[in-house]
Amino acid sequence: DAKTTQPNSMESNEEEPVHLPCNHSTISGTDYIHWYRQLPSQGPEYVIHGLTSNVNNRMASLAIAEDRKSSTLILHRATLRDAAVYYCILRGEYGNKLVFGAGTILRVKS
Amino acid sequence: NAGVMQNPRHLVRRRGQEARLRCSPMKGHSHVYWYRQLPEEGLKFMVYLQKENIIDESGMPKERFSAEFPKEGPSILRIQQVVRGDSAAYFCASSRGHGVAGNEQFFGPGTRLTVL
């Protein structure tokens, strides 16, 4: 499984945008970039995924570099409820298991 | 539309006892995955099942652990003769199909197993 690298932690102010980076320099052509998050004492929650083009949904946006070696999860207006561990995961087109790294702990200040 | 359900939410066992963890997937989902999160560690894949079949058990410990997903009823993760090192949060996820397209994994709230 291709490896991802994320900062250990980040801090944001409430109501401000947050950009969570992820490096995946060994990504293969068929790997999809997935983001999950885990709120305290809960199971992981799907956030967004993409292959080559930038993606938007009601939760977040995913910006993918042209060479696909990095990506950024964008939370447009952070709230206290967004405080969680965010995981960037590569998954092959037919891959089944999710391989979680350490993720980024996002702290949101009021 | 109910999400993935797991029970019990908390389970306490003494060393040597058996632990049975149950997972009911989302309606319409026939693929189930089990993950384990040890204290202060990340989530680790254990096993992937489709109705009545084990597809990938590469993350399952070789002894004492087993999983099933019968034609009727929930998926069961069974741990025999539990030891203190089995204390962890066990999460179940389900998906409609396999692979990426339209088959995101939805996770349950987890079962927190404590072995005394």
Six-digit token pair at A106? 């996002």
Report the distance separating Cα A53 and Cα A70, nearest Å. Answer: 12
Percent residues over pLDDT 90 in chain B: 82
Measured between CA atoms, the residue of chain B closest to residue A101 is B42
Give the A:B interface size as CB pairs under 8 Å.
58
The predicted structure's pLDDT at residue A62: 97
The predicted structure's pLDDT at residue B24: 97
B77-100 per-position pLDDT tens digit = 999 999 999 999 999 999 988 777
Segment among A90-104, B34-48, B71-85 with least mean pLDDT: A90-104
Average pLDDT estimate for A71-87: 97
A99 contacts B99? CB cut-off 8 A: no
Percent residues over pLDDT 90 in chain A: 86
To which residue do tokens 């040890």 refer?
A: B38
Six-digit token pair at A46? 């799907």
Report the distance separating Cα B106 and Cα B39, nearest Å. Answer: 22
Burial class (CB within 10 angstroms; exposed 0-12, middle 13-18, buried 19+) of A35: buried
Q: Is the pLDDT at B71 greater than 60, yes or no?
A: yes
Interface of B with A (CB under 8 A): 4, 31, 33, 35, 42-45, 48, 55-56, 58-59, 91, 93, 98-101, 104-110
Q: Is the pLDDT at B60 greater than 80, yes or no?
A: yes
Report the distance separating Cα A105 and Cα B59, nearest Å. Answer: 25
Six-digit token pair at A78? 């952070």
Q: Is B85 helix (H, G, I), strand (E, B) or coil?
A: helix
Report the distance separating Cα B94 and Cα B2, nearest Å. Answer: 12
Report the distance separating Cα A80 and Cα A40, nearest Å. Answer: 12
Q: Is B61 helix (H, G, I), strand (E, B) or coil?
A: coil
When the pLDDT of each residue in chain B is averaged and rounded to a whole number, the result is: 93
3-class secondary structure for chain A? Answer: CCCCECCCEEEEECCCCEEEEEECCCCCCCEEEEEEEECCCCCCEEEEEECCCCEECCCCEEEECCCCCEEEEEECCCCHHHCEEEEEEEEECCCCCCCCCCCEEEEEEC
The predicted structure's pLDDT at residue B102: 62
Q: Is the pLDDT at B1 greater than 90, yes or no?
A: no
Which residues have a Cβ under 8 Å from the Cβ of B81 and sit 6 or more positions away? B15, B16, B17, B18, B64
Average pLDDT estimate for A37-57: 94
Nearest-CB residue to A98 (from B98, B105, B108): B105
CA atoms lying within 13 Å on the CB side of residue B105? 28
